[in-house]
Structure 1
Amino acid sequence: MKNIESQNIPKLDGNFDKDLLQKAAKDFGTPLYVYDLDRIQERYAQMKAAFGGRKTMICYALKANSNLSVIKKLASLESGADCVSLGEIQRAILAGIPKYKIIYSGVGKQAFEIQEALRIGILFINVESKEEMLLVESCAQELGVPARISIRVNPDIDPQTHPYISTGLKENKFGVSIEEAKGMYLLAHHSKYLEPIGIHFHIGSQLTKLKPIAESARKIAQLAHSLLALKIEIKFFDIGGGIGITYSDETTINPYDYAQAILEELRGLDLTIICEPGRFIVGNSGVFLTKVLYQKMHQNKRFVIVDGAMNDLIRPSFYDAYHQIVPLNTESQELSSADVVGPICESGDYLGKNISLPSLQNGEVLAVLSAGAYGFSMASNYNSRPRCAEVAVENGAIRLVRKRECIEDLIVLEKDYL
């Protein structure tokens, strides 16, 4: 085995320690997600404090991690919710987030979803096209209630992130142009059933550059000024989310600098700022645990085969994303390059490629770091694999927050039709 002397095994992030993770793996099995609720609270508090005394509402983006216990923790901190489906709205309410702190985004809302959101009485619906706005108006008229809306404006600014998670360029499917937005606001303003109260932009996820965010805020603030001049009473300025986290060696945006850049562009606007962090709050607050099953050498290529797979954590396969992978059992510093791969019948089934790992024993547990966001929420049952369990750590105690699925869970909706 080649000795890579210049490299060290990366240390665990957050408040996790190896003994705690070993205990979680022993008590609940692998593969397994572990969430640090104390760290989630810290990250939420950082974002809230960054905006100081300004009128601000933090609306956690449920798509990052929609576990009910995670949402309940954030609800206890007075968080709102950014939802992109009716299911997420229902999860938010079930976990204790007040309806008046819930916003509904997404490009493909259906009439029944819009109607239910209106019945519930959420804060507002973020509309993403003129056709969608007209559907919202029709639903509101049918129910006999006004629909509070915001319009998502696409500022056409490069967010400098992965193309799959870029949302603020004109070639992206999200939002409308500034010129189209102006016309939509005027239509809504004169509608009996639409109440335009917000303006929204979100240029992408895993953002590590502040300049594109500030440029976007400047463009949308100019639009807000023009709307207010037309007596369109905008009350909310929704800046989206997207602040990146450290997976490897990224230089991330300081929340205070982020807030100050936004506030600088909003001078002269007395609006409530809505921020929609997801990954920032939960990303580094979660770890994915997986067990070594087998190891093999194929010519000069080393493979570590584990029980976790792309159906559990798809980010490496889907985005070519990097996650640090840490062995919990060994202190050996003799490292060699390996691909960490899963049992799924796909060449793209891997958790890490060319990862420096020490000599391992079958049965050892590996921790895949920074897995709290877009991990379980993107999991599937591909290859008829039951989804793994989720546990939470709070004040040093570990508890189950979602039990492991079994094959019965996978076939319950089908077996009656055999």
Structure 2
Amino acid sequence: MTTPAPLPTPVGSPHFAYRDGVLHAEGVSVALLAERLGTPLYVYSRAALRAAYEAYREGIGGRDVLVCYGMKANSNLAVLREFARLGAGFDIVSAGELQRVLAAGGDPGKVVFSGVGKQAAEMRLALEARVKCFNVESVPELHRLSQVAHAMGKRAPVSLRVNPDVDPKTHPYISTGLKENKFGIAIEEARAAYLTAASLPGIEVVGVDCHIGSQITETAPFLDALDKLLDLLDALAADGIHVEHLDLGGGLGIRYADETALAPSQLLSQVFERIDARGYGSRQIVLEPGRSLVGNAGILVTQVEYLKPTAAKNFLIVDAAMTDLIRPTLYDAYHGVLAVAPRADASTAVYDVVGPVCESGDWLAKDRELAVREGDYLAVESAGAYGMVMASNYNTRPRAAEVMVDGDHYHVVRARETIEHLLALESTLG
């Protein structure tokens, strides 16, 4: 008798695991979800979302820390509602994201508004909602916000986003704290910018903000940036400018392959030690985690359409594409790929997993050893962040459905688009 091959261990979250030879999300068979709801399909685990948030709460302990979920990572209303229930605030970068927070029952008083290109109408909406803070990213933006707030008879709470010129040692497309990045105000110019802010009508200085990048797996870049921010706080104090909070941004990495993810407690314990030593322990800390809260809480399920061997490559063609998950082609990102129901009766081969879109860049994974047949389901791992939220309709492809698993139950939290949806907003010239 042939001994069956051991089942792979899914990365990142214990809430995705094999039971009786089939991959499950919590207590629900992923194969069952695919059969009932179709593919491509995003599947999220509610328990995984909670566990990720609890890891921050554990690291915070009794300190004054506000976790503002960086919702650009995944803005599904069910995800937002879950974090709102857990007590999170939100880091937004558009008026649309603010409206999502409000629709999900989030507290606008726990919202920080980031982004380099805020428009006047967005500023007005945020002022009317009474957001916690505007993370201002340039002096011209500061002047515009002053004009808008003053005209409304309001004072805009402001934190200047400082660019500390710290290398986060991550992919250049997700690095945000270097001089060549578009984000924030250079650390050398920050003191003068704060003096300008303090002099403008309609502006109330409340904090200092910094965000150096994403998928960071070591503490050194965070602490290097923190030291520069603490030096700035010393200078601002000398200028008579008091700040109520210190916003350290987000950026903690997750496990995609064999990375060792940095636990929130590992970072926060060192942050608390440094701010206490510098005399700023009474300041509120604001964090803006995104990927680390949702990345490992989701998978993308896809079905094998064709096996296409060629002289140079074996291609495994699936129904998901770069339109569903663009990270591999955009960032050359690695995502694990698992057979939902691994076969003992299929030969193993090394494949490039590709989609049906008419682009050579349409691939999800390269050089993966899989034993599959046409019609089988695959799970693309660690797809909860920057997956569905970056999806497109290129090639007139309707976007995937999204489902949230909660124990032994599941809930469709975004219906699958149809061609009719895509055509509804268009018209011809008659």
| TM norm structure 2 | 0.93
> Per-residue displacement from partner, 1:308-339 (whole Å, max 9, x unpaired)?
00000000010000000001122439532100
Counting only pairs closer than 5 Å after superposition, residues 228-247 of structure 1 correspond to structure 2 as: 228-247=237-256
Q: Distance in 2 between matches of 1:374 and 1:97?
A: 21
8 Å CA contact 1:221, 1:265 repeated in 2: no
Shift of 1:145: 0.5
Which residue is equivalent to 1:12?
A: 10
- Counterpart of 1:118 in structure 2 is 127
CA distance in 2, matches of 1:154, 1:261: 21
1:371 aligns with 2:383: yes
- For structure 2, the residue ranges without an aligned partner over 5 or more in a row are 18-22
- State the secondary structure of the residue aligned to 2:269: helix
Residues 342-351 or 183-192, more deviating: 183-192
Structure 2 Cα separation of the partners of residues 45 and 231 of structure 1? 37
How many angstroms apart in 2 are the aligned matches of 1:302 and 1:416?
A: 43
**Residue from 285, 301, 304 that aligns with 2:297:** 285
Partner residue in 2 for 1:211: 220
Aligned twin of 1:93: 102
Structure 2 equivalent of residue 3 of structure 1: none
Question: Which residue of 2 is the match for residue 391 of structure 1?
Answer: 403
Q: Which residue of 1 is the match for residue 355 of structure 2? A: 342
More moved, 294-303 vs 13-22: 13-22
* Count of matched residue positions in the alignment of Structure 1 and Structure 2: 411
What amino acid maps onto 2:188 in structure 1? Answer: E
In 1, the alpha carbon distance for the partners of 2:144 and 2:421 equals: 36
1:357 corresponds in structure 2 to 370
- Deviation of 1:233 (Å): 2.1
Q: Residue type of the partner of 1:16?
A: F
- Secondary structure of 1:126's counterpart equals strand
Equivalent residue in structure 2 for 1:330, among 334, 339, 342: 342
Question: Aligned to 1:311, which of 314, 323, 348?
Answer: 323
SS at match of 2:240: coil
Q: C-alpha displacement at 1:93, in angstroms? A: 1.2
Change (3 A) 1:12 1:414: same
Mapped to 2, the partners of 1:310 and 1:8 lie a distance apart of 30
Measured in 1, the distance between the counterparts of 2:143 and 2:329 equals 38
SS at match of 2:356: coil
SS at match of 1:339: strand
- Would the aligned equivalents of 1:160 and 1:209 in 2 still touch at CA under 8 Å? no
**Contact kept in structure 2, 1:9 and 1:357, CA below 8 Å:** no
8 A Cα contact 2:135 2:161, kept in partner: yes
1: CA distance, partners of 2:6 / 2:271: 39
Give the aligned residue type for 1:337. V
- Cα deviation, 1:268-319, whole Å, max 9, x if unaligned, reads 1121100111110100000100000011111141111000000000000100
**In structure 2, the residue corresponding to 1:153 is in which secondary structure?**
strand
2:268 to 246, 254, 259: 259
Give matches, 1:14-29, under 5 Å.
14=13, 15-17=15-17, 18-19=23-24, 20-29=29-38
Distance 2:268 2:62 in 1: 11
| Counterpart-to-counterpart distance in 2, 1:249 and 1:343 | 29
The aligned residue for residue 235 of structure 2 is: 226
Matched, 1:166 2:175: yes
Q: In the alignment, which residue of structure 1 is the partner of 2:20? A: none
Q: Is 1:127 paired with 2:136?
A: yes
For residues 49-64 of structure 1, the aligned pairs below 5 Å read 49-64=58-73
Superposed displacement of residue 133, structure 1: 0.4
Separation in structure 1 between the aligned mates of residue 270 and residue 330 of structure 2, nearest angstrom = 32
Q: Distance in 1 between matches of 2:7 and 2:237?
A: 55
Which amino acid in the other structure matches residue 351 of structure 1? Answer: L
- Structure 1 residue 417: Cα displacement: 5.3
Letter in 1 for 2:9: K
Contact map agreement 2:166 2:178 (CA 8 A) in 1: yes
Corresponding residue to 2:308 among 288, 296, 319: 296
Q: Give the AA of the match of 1:137.
A: S
Normalised by the length of structure 1, the TM-score is 0.96
Contact 1:35 1:287 in 2 (8 A): yes
Q: Does 1:155 align with 2:164?
A: yes
Amino acid across the alignment from 1:89: L
Structure 2 residue matching 1:209: 3-state secondary structure: coil
Partner-residue secondary structure (3-state), 2:185: coil
- Look up the match of 2:418: 406
Conserved? CA contact 2:165–2:187, under 8 Å: no
Q: Which SS does the other structure have where 1:415 is aligned? A: coil
What amino acid is aligned across from residue 16 of structure 2 in structure 1?
F
Distance 2:420 2:298 in 1: 28
CA shift, 1:228, in A, is 2.6
Instruction: State which drifts further: 262-271 or 364-373.
Output: 262-271
1:8 to partner: Cα distance:
6.9
Measure, in 2, the Cα distance between the counterparts of 1:254 and 1:128: 28
Amino acid at match of 1:83: I
- Post-superposition offset of 1:241: 0.2
**Quick check: 1:11–1:326 contact (8 Å CA) kept in 2?**
no
Q: Alpha carbon RMSD of aligned pairs, Å?
A: 1.4
Partners in 2 of 1:315 and 1:417 — Cα distance? 37
Deviation of the 1:132 alpha carbon: 0.5
Structure 2 contact 7–342 (Cα < 8 Å) conserved: no
Q: Which amino acid aligns with 1:353?
A: K
- Using the aligned pairs only, state the percent identity: 45
Moved more, 136-145 or 223-232: 223-232
2 CA distance for matches of 1:201 and 1:316? 27
Instruction: Tell me how far apart the structure 2 counterparts of residues 403 and 297 of structure 1 sit (CA, whole Å).
Output: 35
Amino acid corresponding to residue 11 of structure 1 in structure 2? T
Deviation digits for residues 118-153 of structure 1 (CA, Å, limit 9, x no counterpart): 111101110000000000001111111111110000
Deviation beyond 4 Å, 4+ runs, structure 1:
none
Q: Secondary structure at the match of 1:366?
A: strand
